[in-house]
Amino acid sequence: MPLFINRDQIFAHQVHLLEHKLRSKEERILELETENALLHLRLAEKHDLSELFAVYVSFATELEEQSKQLLEKVEQANSSLNSHSEDGFQLQVRVAALEHSLEEERENCRAERRKRKELHNTLLRGNIRVHCRVRPVLPFDQIQSSTSGSSASSEEVVHAVSDDTVMVNCVKAGMLVQNKMFEFEVHGPEDSQKAVFKEVKSLLTSLLDYNVCIMAYGQTGSGKTHTMMGSQFLDEPSGTQQEAQQGIIPKAAAELFLISEKPAESHTVEVSVMEVYNNEVFDLLARDEHSNAAGQRRDVITTASGASQVPSLTYPVSNASEVMQIISSVLKLRAHCPTLVHADSSRSHLIVTLTVSSKSPNAVALARRLQSAKMDMRRSTQKEWWSPRCRRANLAAHHSADETSASPASSPCSTPSLSPCPSPRNSITQTPFRTKLQLVDLAGSECAGDAKLLVMLCVSPTQRFITESLQSLGFGTRARQVQKEPPRRKNNSLKVK
């Protein structure tokens, strides 16, 4: 392109020169005319008109010749200028074609990425999917960095470079920047709640066949509550929230009632809300003797099959807004305490479980659970819990069919783990789990075996939290490598008693 402009300029310059020459010739003509007039005078003096005429004619011929030549040159310059414009037009057409094919390549690339993602989710990995959400730099990041006195700490170092790669700029004093790359399904700072849920939604279609667990993991202030509940949820006493603000739990609840067609006729849905605080489990739906909501401590019990369960209270619900009203009514019971990072930090792990039970007349006592957990990195000390727990949960999955078939077919409490008062008919051994409690004992079979698990890593983007962010990303990388047994569908036809 720059070459084209130069050539244009050259031709314009040539035209300018030729015009200049033309002007000088015109001046010359004027001079000659003056001279001619003088000659006329002389001729008049000498009476030699014929000689004067001959000179005049020769000058005129010469001038005519020169003018012709000049005109030819101007025409040549004009035509070459036009041919250049045609070249420019051709170039523009080529550029447009190249841009078009580039866009096509981009689209191909996006399609390949989508295929790669699907392959990752279905073939290459176990049934643990790991997503990572990098939150935007927020005003409180600036305030914190000004109080900590370091100008670098609010610098953005965690970047969502594509929809499957997170890059962390690791800078050590006096050393070159080292970029660390992590591969997950990535949601960047600009991604809306809707966009995040769109990627999670596909998991929920499995809900009627498998247990599904969605777990947010990250340090304080990294956006777990924002992602799971939505930021304005706690400010809304009725549990109502603008759709655009809703996090995964309200959206998943709505989706659940959509996918389980006519749920009131074919299924019952129950909700339970628990928190794990200081290694103890509290049932947030429990009520005191005056029927006031009061979180009650519950024991983790171990079934004969080795699964850990908590007999928490459940409430039947018939639509998503009921679910959210129940959750919002008990959230104020949660332990809250400001941290250096986050003024309204919830100090516990929160577990919301939706249990879908079949009411089929064929006595298929099918119960499926959608469990959503919010898990703080600092308070989940047993980081490598995946491997041993997965083995144990697989065992539990083998036995879960027996447990389910032992329950009454139409009972919504067909999963003993969630019934308020475990029935003596079921096979739970009432052994309180006395050893140090980990969140995974609660999540138990919901997280492993035949369950589908999605871990949503929540990451702060700034330099100040780079250590915690790297720890979370490392945790996600390990989780992603866990190979569990492929999910097995329940064989419903075998369970009639």
Ligand X SMILES: Nc1ncnc2c1ncn2[C@@H]1O[C@H](COP(=O)(O)OP(=O)(O)OP(=O)(O)O)[C@@H](O)[C@H]1O
Q: What is the binding site for ligand X (CB under 6 A)?
A: 135-136, 138, 218, 220-226, 231, 339, 342, 345-346, 376, 458
Residue 123 neighbours by CB distance under 10 Å:
7
Min dist. Cβ of residue 464 to ligand X (A) = 14
Shorter beta-carbon distance to ligand X: residue 18 or 341:
341
Min dist. Cβ of residue 292 to ligand X (A) = 25
Task: Report residue 47 as tokens.
Answer: 């009476």
Beta strand 452-459 with 128-134: parallel, antiparallel or unpaired?
parallel
Q: Is 224 annotated as a binding residue?
A: yes
Q: Is 374 annotated as a binding residue?
A: no
Min dist. Cβ of residue 423 to ligand X (A) = 36
Q: What is the dihedral of CA 119, 458, 202, 199, to 10 degrees?
A: -80
Q: Is 444 annotated as a binding residue?
A: no
Min dist. Cβ of residue 336 to ligand X (A) = 8
Shorter beta-carbon distance to ligand X: residue 225 or 357:
225
Shorter beta-carbon distance to ligand X: residue 218 or 295:
218
Q: Is 223 annotated as a binding residue?
A: yes
Q: Is 126 annotated as a binding residue?
A: no
Question: Can you state the percent helix, strand and coil of the chain, rounding each to 5?
Answer: 50, 20, 30
Strands (E), 219-359: 267-277, 280-283, 296-298, 301-303, 308-309, 315-317, 349-358
Shorter beta-carbon distance to ligand X: residue 135 or 267:
135
Residue 21 neighbours by CB distance under 10 Å:
15
Shorter beta-carbon distance to ligand X: residue 10 or 341:
341
CA proximity to 314, closest of 255, 349, 350, 354:
354
Q: Is 411 annotated as a binding residue?
A: no
Task: Report residue 380 as tokens.
Answer: 């989940």
Query: What span, in angstroms and rounded, lies between the C-alpha atoms of 274 and 206?
Result: 24
Residue 164 neighbours by CB distance under 10 Å:
16
Angle at 404 between CA 323 and CA 399, to 5 degrees: 120
Shorter beta-carbon distance to ligand X: residue 376 or 450:
376
Q: Is 332 annotated as a binding residue?
A: no
Q: Is 150 annotated as a binding residue?
A: no
Angle at 375 between CA 371 and CA 376, to 5 degrees: 170
Min dist. Cβ of residue 146 to ligand X (A) = 18
Min dist. Cβ of residue 121 to ligand X (A) = 23
Shorter beta-carbon distance to ligand X: residue 346 or 400:
346
Query: For the packed helices 248-259 and 193-204, what is the interaxial angle rounded to 10 degrees?
Result: 40
Shorter beta-carbon distance to ligand X: residue 324 or 413:
324
DSSP 205: T
Query: For the packed helices 386-405 and 439-447, what is the interaxial angle rounded to 10 degrees?
Result: 60
Min dist. Cβ of residue 229 to ligand X (A) = 8
Min dist. Cβ of residue 459 to ligand X (A) = 10
Question: Which residues make up each annotated binding site for ATP?
Answer: 218-225
